[in-house]
């Protein structure tokens, strides 16, 4: 194999591949990237057995062929090469070495046989549709903060993507929850997505997918089966196993009858919560919200470190209410608001609270209160 690739194109392909590869591997071949050169493209394939990414990039192929080489090492080399350099990758197949050269720099890297590289079995996808990158980015970006990190409740370790309907309108919906907070984000259902089976997209896949969604105008081909999900652009294909488990009935958690309405500037609210929570103890991080007519008092009382209080002008016209929350959860939810105002709907100090952006029903958040 002998192939020449421009440094920035190679770096882009390698950074996508190496981020899938786990740092510590018991199986040596999983630390490698499979490089295949043919025609006028080179493809870079990496896997951790749960996720597989294939990145195709234009290349000048003198001799077609394939080999596998340490993903992190090659990525670091390419990253340190000067911008605009042409990188030559040469493998004669017999020496067990890949020669990497650019300008006056030469590297010789150990390779492993390409036959040992595990390629994810292809499966039949029963649902195939196309979605805009900006739409998918919003769905996953706004929901991923609520993904659970508890290994015991593995079915919550991802984002539940499914077709649903809201007030008679068909929607593509992403939901994530960890039992303390929940995010439910909707977008218009793309064509051909009606048959979408509900799948739980794992946390790592959500993180890797983000890199495919940078370009607002790009269209992403999405394919879903009971066991796998695939996202593809013309250059990159990301295939992932889905979490094998059933996502709980989240609709029961979303409060319907909350009537006490608080409207507040999201950025000001987040800054105030951040300021008062400075004195809270690391473990509980509880912030108390005291609501009265058109004013909100945020307070923290930590016996071991001190107390803090801040008053905000808000729009609130209901009876007096005191309710406590984990400061981290409030900050994360307020950070999701793109518009100026966040609307909180309360019931009582012991019931879940609903938050949305203005009157926007396509993004709904729920947060559980805590005793303060």
What are the angstrom distances between the C-alpha of 192 and each of 45, 129, 131, 160, 228? 29, 5, 10, 19, 18
Return mean pLDDT, the chain.
Answer: 94
Q: Are 185 and 143 in contact (CB under 8 A)?
A: yes
Q: Cα-flanking dihedrals φ and ψ of residue 279, to 5°? A: -90, -5
CB atoms within 10 A of CB 291: 20
Which tokens go with 338?
């793109």
Q: What is the pLDDT of residues 263-284, one digit of tens each?
A: 999 999 999 999 999 998 776 6
Tell me the CA distances in angstroms from 331 to 143, 164, 272, 285, one per residue in order. Answer: 14, 28, 10, 11
For residue 93, what pLDDT band results from cuts at 50, 70 and 90?
confident
Instruction: Report, as an integer, the average pLDDT of 125-136.
Output: 95
**pLDDT at residue 303 is higher than 70:** yes
pLDDT tens, residue by residue, 151-179: 999 999 999 999 999 988 999 999 999 99
Contacts (Cβ under 8 Å, ≥6 apart) of 104: none
E strands, 80-235, are 86-90, 97-102, 105-112, 127-132, 158-166, 169-177, 181-188, 199-202, 219-224, 228-232
| For range 333-339, the mean pLDDT | 88
Residue 135 CA, distance from chain mean position: 13
Q: Distance between alpha carbon 321 and the CA centroid of its chain, in Å?
A: 35
Q: What are phi and psi of 2, to 5 degrees?
A: -140, 125
pLDDT in tens, 305-323: 889 999 999 999 999 999 9
Q: What is the pLDDT of residue 372?
A: 74
pLDDT, position 282: 73
């Amino acid at each position: 194999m002998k192939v020449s690739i421009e440094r920035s194109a190679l770096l882009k392909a390698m950074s996508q591949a190496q981020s899938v590869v786990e740092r510590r591997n018991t199986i040596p071949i999983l630390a490698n990237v499979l490089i295949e050169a043919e025609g006028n493209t080179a493809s870079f394939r990496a896997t951790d057995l749960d996720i597989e990414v294939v990145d195709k990039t234009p290349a000048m192929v003198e001799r077609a062929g394939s080999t596998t080489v340490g993903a992190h090492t090659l990525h670091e080399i390419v990253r340190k090469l000067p911008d605009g350099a042409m990188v030559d990758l040469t493998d004669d197949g017999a020496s067990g070495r890949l020669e990497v050269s650019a300008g006056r720099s030469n590297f010789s890297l150990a390779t492993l046989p390409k036959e040992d590289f595990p390629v994810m079995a292809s499966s039949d996808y029963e649902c195939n549709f196309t979605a805009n990158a900006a739409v998918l980015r919003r769905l996953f970006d706004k929901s991923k903060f609520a993904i659970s990190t508890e290994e015991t409740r593995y079915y919550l370790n991802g984002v539940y993507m499914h077709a649903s309907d809201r007030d008679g309108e068909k929607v593509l919906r992403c939901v994530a929850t960890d039992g303390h907070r929940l995010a439910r984000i909707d977008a218009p259902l793309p064509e051909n997505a009606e048959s979408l089976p509900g799948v739980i997209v794992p946390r790592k896949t959500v993180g890797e997918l983000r890199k495919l969604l940078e370009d607002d105008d790009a269209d992403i081909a999405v394919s879903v089966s009971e066991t796998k999900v695939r996202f593809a652009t013309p250059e990159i294909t990301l295939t992932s196993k889905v979490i094998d488990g059933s996502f709980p009935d989240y609709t029961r958690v979303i409060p319907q009858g909350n009537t006490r309405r608080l409207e507040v500037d999201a950025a000001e609210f987040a800054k105030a919560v951040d300021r008062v929570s400075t004195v809270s103890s690391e473990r509980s991080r509880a912030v108390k919200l005291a609501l009265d007519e058109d004013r909100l008092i945020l307070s923290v009382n930590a016996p071991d470190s001190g107390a803090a209080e801040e008053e905000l002008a808000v729009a609130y016209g209901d009876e007096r209410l005191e309710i406590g929350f984990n400061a981290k959860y409030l900050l994360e939810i307020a950070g999701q608001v793109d518009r100026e105002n966040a609307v909180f709907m309360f019931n009582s100090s012991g019931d879940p609270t609903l938050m949305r952006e203005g009157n926007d029903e396509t993004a709904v958040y729920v947060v559980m209160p805590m005793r303060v």
